Structure 1
Amino acid sequence: MRLHRLEMTAFGPFGSTQTVDFDELAAAGLFLLHGPTGAGKTSVLDAVCYALYGKVPGARESGHSGGQGSPLRSDHADPAVSTRVTLELTVAGRRLEITRQPAWLRPKKRGTGTTPEKAQSLLREHDAATGAWKSTGSRSHQEIGEEITQLLGMSREQFCQVVLLPQGDFARFLRADAEARGKLLGRLFATERFGEVEKRLAERRRATEARVKDADTDLLNRAHRMQQAAGDAMELPALTPGDPGLAEAVLTAAAVARSTAREQLAVARCALDAAETARARAEREAAAARELARLQRRSADARERAARLEEASAAHQEAREAMERSRKAEAVAPALDLRRSAEAEHRRAAAAEQRARGPLPAGHAGDGAAGLAAAARRAAEELGGLESARRAETRLRALAGERDRLDRQERADEEALQEAEEWLAGWEETRAALQARVEAAQDAATRAEQLAARQEPARRRLDAARERDRLAAEAGAAGESAAAARVKAAAAHEHWNTLREQRLDGIAAELAAALRDGEPCAVCGSPDHPAPAGKDVGHVDRATEEAARAGHRRLQEEAERAERRHADLREALAAAVAEAGEDPVGELARECAELTERHRREHLAAGDLHPAREELRRAEQEHARRTAARQEAAVRAAARVGHRERLDEERATLERELAEARGAAGSVAARAAQLEHAVTLLDEAAEAARAAEDAAHRLKDADARLADAAYRAGFDTPRAAADALLDAAGHRALQQRLDAWEQELAAVRAVLAEEDTAAAAQLPPADVTAAEAALAAATRRAREAASAHDAAERRCADLDRLSDEAARAARALAPLRARHDKVARMAGLAAGTSADNERKMRLESYVLAARLEQVAAAATARLLRMSSGRYTLVHSDDRSGRGRSGLGLHVVDAWTGRERDTATLSGGETFFASLALALGLADVVTDEAGGVRLDTLFIDEGFGSLDDQTLDEVLDVLDSLRERDRSVGIVSHVADLKRRVHAQLEVVKGRRGSVLRQRGAAG
C-alpha cells in the first residue's frame, strides 16, 4: 500500500481545503510531520484512516468535536462548505481514489436554519489504458469499507497498529500485564477463533456431562421403578447421577430383587392350587341346590298354566271358526283387488282428461281422441314451415345493430375530425412558443455556467482580501513588538557586558576568597598568600553575571520569536496581497454577492430547460397523432357509404318475407310460440282421452269377475265375501293366538309328564341361599389367591423387563462416559485447568504466545541496531497470576548477560524498544494478513526522550526501511528533527484553523 495524495476540507482543525502530496514527501524515504501541540498533526493520520475505513482511530474517535452535527467537522469551516476527505493510493496493484463526506447540517438554501445532509462515499479506480478515473459503481459506506479491508487484508484496528504506529500504546504494551497484551494481540491476530475452540470444547464437555448425568438419572429412575415393582423390597445404591460405579450397583440390586420375586411366586402358586380345589367343590354343591329348586319351580308353574288354559277354551273355539270363514273368502280376494284397482285407475284417467280439455279452444271441446290427434299434426306441420322465417328475423335484428354501430362511428369520427382540425389550426404558434422557451432556457444555462466559474475565484479573492487586512494589522503590531523586543535585548546585552567587565576588574578579590593556607594559589602556584586582594564596594560576583546573562538570553529568544512571527506575518501578507490585490473588501464583497445573485437567477431560469424540451416533445407527438387520426377518420367515412347502402337493401328484402310469415302475430317468434303451445295442448288432450276410454272398459270387466267369484265361494254377495276376508295382519294375529294356545297346552302336558320334575316336587324345598354363600366365600378366597399369584408373576415379569432395560441403559452409558472423559480431558487442556497442562496455559494464550515470540524476534532485529547491540527482546512463558503461564516479555541486556523485565528500561530505552516492537509487530501482522506490501508507515511521537546518539541510531533504522522502497513519516514536534529530516510537512496553527506547508527533500 502506497499513499499518493490526501485532500481535506473542513476536517478537524483544518477549516479550508488542505492537500498533502505523499509522492513528494516519500521521495526522500523519510519525512517529518511537525507543528506545535494541538495544531493537528494527528488529524492528518485521522483523515487517512477515515478515508480508508469511514472512521478515525478508536482512541480518538470520541475526541473529535465539531459543529453542525458532525464530530469530524471543523469549527473553523464556512457553514456552507461540506466536510470532505479524498485519498489517492495504490493497493494490490490498483490505483484508487476514495472520497468520503460525513453527515452534517448544512444551511437551508431558502430561509434560515439547517437541514441534515446524508453521509456520502465514492470509490474510483484509475484506468491506465485511458488515463481517466472511472467509478466502481459502489457508493455505500459499508461496501467501500469491506472492499478496502479485503484489499489491505487488515481491519481498522490492525491498520492503526501496523501503519499508524502509536508509540504510547507500545510503551504501555511493554509494561502491560499478560491480560492486556493478550487483548491487543488478540485483536491484531484475530485469535478469537481459538477462544471459540475453548468455548466449544467447554460446551461439549458440559453437553457430554449432561448426557452422562441424564443417562445416570434415567438408570436411577429405572431402579426406582424396579424398587416399586419389587414392593420396596429392593435397596437402591446411595449414589447420585455422575458418580462412578452407579451402573454396577444398580444391576447388582436388580439381580437380588429378581431372586426374591421368584421365591414369592412359588409360594403364591401353592396357595392358588388349594383355593381352586375348594372353590370347585363348593361350585358343585351350589349347582345341585339350584337344579333342585329349578325343578320344583317348574312343577308348580306347569300346574298354574294348565288351569289358565282350561279357562280360555271357549274363546279358542270362536277363533277357529273365524279362521275358517277367512280361508273361504281368500278365493274372492284377487277379484276384489282387481275391481278396486280398476276403479281407482278410472277415476284418475277421468280427472286427467278433464284437466287436459280445459285449456283447449271451444272448437275442439267435443272432439274425441282421434280428432284431437289430427289437429295436433296440422299445427306441427305449420310450425315446421316457420324455421326459415326465424333465421330471417334474427338477421334483421343483426342488420339493425350494425346500422346503429355505423351511425355511432360516423358521429365519433365527425367529433374527432373537428377536434383535430381545431387543434392543428394553432400548431405553428404553439411550436414557435415552445421553441423560444427552450432556447431561452439554454441561454440561461450557458450564462449560469459562466457565472459559476467566476464565483469561486471571486470568493477566494474576497477571503484573501479579508485575510490581507487582518494580516496587515497583525503585521504592524508584530513589527512594533519585534522592535521593542530588540531594544530590550540590546539593553540586556549591554547590561550583561557591563557586569562582566566589572567582574573581570574584581576577579582578583574573587580568587583571593577561595585561597586556603598551605594550599597553592590557582594563579601563581605559591602556597603563601601574603597580601590577598579584598572586594571593593559594588563587587560583581559570578551569580550576578550569570543572572544577567540568562536575562539577556531570555530577552534575545523573545526578540527572535517576535522577529520570526513578524516575518511569517509579512510572508502571509504578501501571499494574501498577491491573491487579493489592492481592492477594498467591501467592493469585493459586493461583486461576489452580485455574481451569486446573477447566478441564482440564471440557474433558476435554466431549470426550465428540461420541462420545456419535454413539453415540446409531447406537443410534436400530439401533432403527429392528431394528423394521423384526421386521415384515418376520412378513410373510414368513405368506406361507410357503400356499406350502409348494402345493409338497407338486405333489410327491405327481409321485412317483406317476415310480413308474410308472421301473419297476425307480432313476430315470427310469437307465431312459433303460439303453434308450439297449441301442439302441446292437443297432444296432451288426445293422450288423456284415450287413457280415460281404456280405464272405463277395464272397470266394467272387473265388476263381472267379482260377482262370479263370490258366488262360487259360497257368499251371497261380494260385500259378504269382503267382510269375511281378513287382511294379512289380522290373519297373522289370529293364527298366532291359535298356535300359542296349542303350544302352551302341549308344553304343560310335557312338563307334567317328566319323571325328575315329579320326583322333585315330592322333596323338601331346596336351600339355594346357603349353597350360594358357601360358593361365594370359596370363590373370593380363590380370587385372592389368583390375584396374589398374578401379582407375583407381574412382579417377576416387570423386574425381568426393567432389569433388561437397565442392562441396555448401562451398556449405552459406557460409550457416553468414555466420550465425556475424552472431551473433558481436551477441554481441561485447552482451558489450562488440566493436570496434564503443566504451565496452565489456555489454547488462545498458547497461540498468542507463539505470535508474541515471532514479534519479539522481528523486533530484536531492529532493537539490536537501535541499542548498538545491547538489548534483545525475548518472550517468556513463565507462570503469572493464578498459577497460569502468561504472555511475558523480557529484555536481555548484553552488557550484564542477565534477563530483566521491560519495566526497568529508561524513558529513551523504552521508546526505541517500543518502536522496535511496533515495527516487528507490523511485519508479523503484514505476513499474517497475506503479505500485503506496506510502502507507507507513520510513527507518532516519542522522539523527545532520545539523546543525540540514540536518535541517530533510531533514524538509521528507520532510514533502512527505504531499502524495500518504503517511506516512513515521523510525527513529532522535536525541534532537532527539523535539521535531520529535510522532507517536511508542517502544520501551522491559527485563529482561523490550521494550514499545511509542505517541503520536499530538495527544498
Structure 2
Amino acid sequence: MRPINLTISAFGPYKDTVSVDFDCFRQGLFLISGDTGSGKTSLFDAMTFALYGEASGKDRSVKSFRSHYATSDDKTEVTLKFEHQGKVYIITRSPSYMRLKKSGEGLTQEAASVLLEMPNGHTLSKRNEVDEAILDLLGLTYTQFKHVALLPQGEFKDVLLAKSQERSELFRKIFSTSKYNTLQQDLSTLEQETKFELSIIEKSLESLYHQVSVETQDRTPKTLVEALNTQIEATHKHIEGLDKCINDVKSVEEKAKTALTLAEIEADKRTQLNQKLLEAKQLEAQENTINAWKVLNEKIDIAQKTLGEDALIIRTLKQTLSQNTNTIQQYQKEMLGTQAITQKNKEALESFTQQAPQIQEEILKVDRLKTMVPDLETIQTLTSLMAQGEKKQKDFESVLNQMLLQEKTKKEAIETVREKKETHPKLVALHQENERSLQEMKHAFTRHEHLERMQQSLITLQSKQPLITHVYESIRRLDTTMNQAYRNRLDQFLDQQAGYIARTLKDNEPCPVCGSTHHPHPAHKPDDESVDQQTIDTMMQFSNAVSELRNQTAQSMNNIQKDTQTLINTLNAVSKTIAEPKEVLTQKLEALTLQQQTLTQAINQSSEIIASLPSINQELEVLSQSISQTEHALQAQRIENATYETDLKTLNQRVGDYDIKAVNQEIKMLELKHETYQKDLNQTQTTYDQSKSNLERIDTLSRQLNDTIKKDTQTLDTLEAQFVHSVIHAGFEDLSDYENTMTKAPEYDANKQRIHEFETTRLKVTQAIQSLEQDLKDAKHENLEDLKTLIENTKNQLTQLNNELRTNHSTYDQLKRLYDDILKKQRQYDTQAHHFDMISNLSKTANGRLKGALRVSFELYVQSAYFNKILIYANQRLAAMSDGRYQLFRKEDYDDKRPTVGLDLEVFDAYTGMRRDVSTLSGGEMFKASLAMALGLSDVIQSMSGGIEIDMLFVDEGFGSLDQESLNQAINTLIELSENHRLVGIISHLQELKQQIDQQIIIQKSPTGSKLQQRV
C-alpha cells in the first residue's frame, strides 16, 4: 500500500482545502517541517482517519478533528488516494461534528460519512462495509497499521520501555494471541468443572454404598454388592408366594359380591311397590280439586272467545285517551320553557347591538398597529447586527495587537541571526577536520567491537541450545499426549453417536449410515454420555495449536544450530584483520569524541539560529500582510457599525417607544376579541330564531290534540253500554261475575297443565304396580347381613396381603435400583477419573503449572516467540545505528533450574560487556533503540500478515535528542528503508534535516489557518 494523494479540508489547523502529492516523492526520504502546532502530525491523523476512522496517536480524539477556523459552510473531510497491488483506491471520510446553523441560531449535528471507490468503479458508503473492505484489502487492523506504517509522536518508545505485562497486552492486540489465553482459561475452567463433577460422583457413590445394610463388618464394595444381590433374590421369591394367596381370596370375594347384588335388587323392588301403592291413594284424594279446575277453565274459554274482542277495543281506547292527556300536559311545560329562552336571546341581541361601535373602533386600531410592524422588525434586525459588529471590532483589535507584538519579536530575532553568521564558518571548518580523524578511529574500534560482539553472540547461542532442546521435548510430549487424548475422546464421541442412532433403528427400515434394512448387531448406548461436540472441537483446536507450536520450536532449534556454525566461521575471518590494541584506540577516541561533541553543540546552536532567518523573514512578511489585512478589516467594521447606529436612530424616532413584541401581542389580542364577538353574535341570532319557531309549532300541536280527546271520550261511552248487554247474554250473572272470571284467566294454562299431569301420573302409577307385582311373584329371600359380613372379611384379608405385597415390592425395587445405581455410578466414576487426569495435565501444561516442565503459559510462550523475531530484526537496525555497540535481549531469569520466561527487555553494551536495563540508556540512545524496536515490530507484522506490503513509513519527532553522528546513522537506516520503492516521511523541525533532505513538506501557521507547500 502506497499513498498517492492526500486532500484535507477544515481539518485540524487547516481551514482551507490543502493537498499533498506523494507521487512527487516517488523514491527516498522526505521531511515534514513546521512550527509547533502548525499541523505536521495532523497529516498522519488525516491519513489514519481516512483508512480506519481513528487518530494516529493515543492522545488525540476524532472529535477534535474539526478545524476551529472553519465556518458553517466549510465541510470537514479527508480524501486519500492510494495504490495497492497495482490498483488505485480512493476513500473519503468525514467525522461527526457540531457546526453553526446556516439559517437561524444555535448548533446542528453534521453526521459522519464515508465513501470508498473501488478500481472497478463500485462504491461502498456504509461504515461497517468500508471498514471490512479496508481490513480485507490491507490485511492489517488499526493497531497493526499504526505499528507498521506510523510511528506516532511519543508512542513508539512504548514498545521499548513497557513492562512485561504491558508488553504482553500490546502483543495480544497486535498478534491476536488472546485466543491462547482464552484456551488457557477454558482449560482451567474445564479442569475445575471436571474435578467438581468427579467429587460429586464420588460422594454419590459413597452415599449409595452407605445404603446397603449387611450384618458383616466387611464393607468392601465387592462384599456389599454380593450381599445386595442375595437380598434381591430372597425378596423376589416372597413376592411370588403373596401373589398366589391374593388370587385365592379374590375368587371367594367375587362370588359373595354376586349373591349380595341379587338380594339387594329384590329388596329394592319391594320398597318400590310399597311406594307406588301409597302414591295411588294420594292421587284419589286430589280428584275433587281437579274437577273444580276443569269447570273454571270452561268459563274462561267462553269469556275469551265470545267477549274478548269487544273488551280489547275498550281497553285500547282508554289507553289512547290517557296517553293524549299526558301529551297535552308536556306541551304546556315545553311552551313555558321555550318562551323563557326566546326572551333571554332577545335581550342578548340588544346587548350585542350596544357593543358594535367599540368593536369598530378597535378594528381601526389594529390597522394602525400593523403599519408599524415592518419598522419594528428592521430595528430588531439592526440591533442584532450592531451587537455582532461590535464583537467583531473587538476581536479585530485584539488580533491586531497580538500581531504587532509578534512583529516586534521577529525583528529582534533577525538581529540575533546576523551576529551568529560571523562566527559560524570557523566552527564548521574545525569540526570537519576533527570529524575525519574521528571516523578513522571509529572504523578501527568498530572492528574490535564487532569481534567481541560476535564472541558474545556465540556464547548466547550456545547457551540457548539446551533450553530450546528442553522446550522442544516438553512440547513434543504435550503434542503426543494431546493427540492421544483427542483420539480417545473422539472414539468415545463416535460410540456415543452410534448408540443414539442404534436406538432409532427398526427392522425392514434402512439405516441412515449404511442403508441396510437388517440390524443384527446394533450399537449399545454408552454408560458415559458426557462428551459433546464442543468438547471435541476445543480439544482439536488445542491439539492443532500445540502441533503448530512444536513445528515452530523445531525450526527455531535448527536455526540456532545454523547461526552458531556461521558465527564461528565469521569470527575466524574477522580476528585476522585486528592490528592495533583496543586500549590505545579507546583513549584517543574518547578524547577526540569529547572535543567533537563540544564543537557539534556549538555548530548546531549556530546553524539553527542562522537557518531560521529565511523562515523568520518569510513569517515577518506574512505577518506584515496579515497586519495590513486586519487593519483594513477593522476600519471596514467600524464604518459598518456607524451605519447601523445611524439607521437605528432614524427608525426609533419614527416609531417612538413601541416594542415589536408588545405590538404583535396587542394586534393578536384585538383580532381574537373581534372574532369572538362576531362568533357569539351569530350563535345568539341563530338560537333566537330556532326558539321562536319552536313556540309556534307547539301551540299548533296542542290545539289539534284537544279536538282528538273530545271525539274519543264520546266513542268510549257508547262502547261500554253495548258491552254490558253482551256479558249478560253470554251466561254471566252480571258484569261483576265476568270481571271476577277474567281475573282468574292467567291461571288457565297452569290449571290445564295440572290436569294433564294428574292424568299422566295416575296412569304411570297403575302400570308400575302391575309390573312390580309380576317381578316379585317368584322371588327368593337371602340374608343380606351374612353376605356383607363375608365380603368385609375377604376385604380385610386382601388389604393385609396387598400391604405386605406392596412393602415387598417397594423393598425389591429399592434394592434393585440401589444395585443398578451402584454399578452405573462406579463405571461413571472410573470414566470421569480418567477424563480428569487428562484434562488436569493439559490445563497445568497450558498454564505453566506442570511440575518438572517449563513454567510459562501457552500465550506467553507464543508471545515470546514473536518477541524473539522482533529482536532479531530490531538488532539488525540497532547495530547499524550504534556502530555495533548495543544489542537488545529478552530477560531470562533462572530459579532452581526452573526458568520463568517473561517479556522484560535489557540491552547488551559491547563497551562494558554487560547487560543492563533499557531505561538506563541516554535520550539519544533510547531513541535509536526505540526506532529499531518499532521497525522490527513493523517487519514482523508484515511478515506474519501473509507478505502484506506497506510501502510507506512515517516517523513523528524524536530526532532532537541525537548528536550529529547518531543522527546520520538514523538517517542512513531510514534511507535504506526508503529503497525498493518505499516512501519514508519524517516530522522534525531540526535544521540539519532540512539541509540533508531535499524533498520536503513545509507547513506555516497563520491567524486564518495553516498552509503547506511541497519542495522536491
Short-chain TM bin: 0.3 to 0.5
- Greater C-alpha Rg: 1
Under a length normalisation based on structure 1, what TM-score does the superposition of the two structures give? Answer: 0.48
Under a length normalisation based on structure 2, what TM-score does the superposition of the two structures give? Answer: 0.47
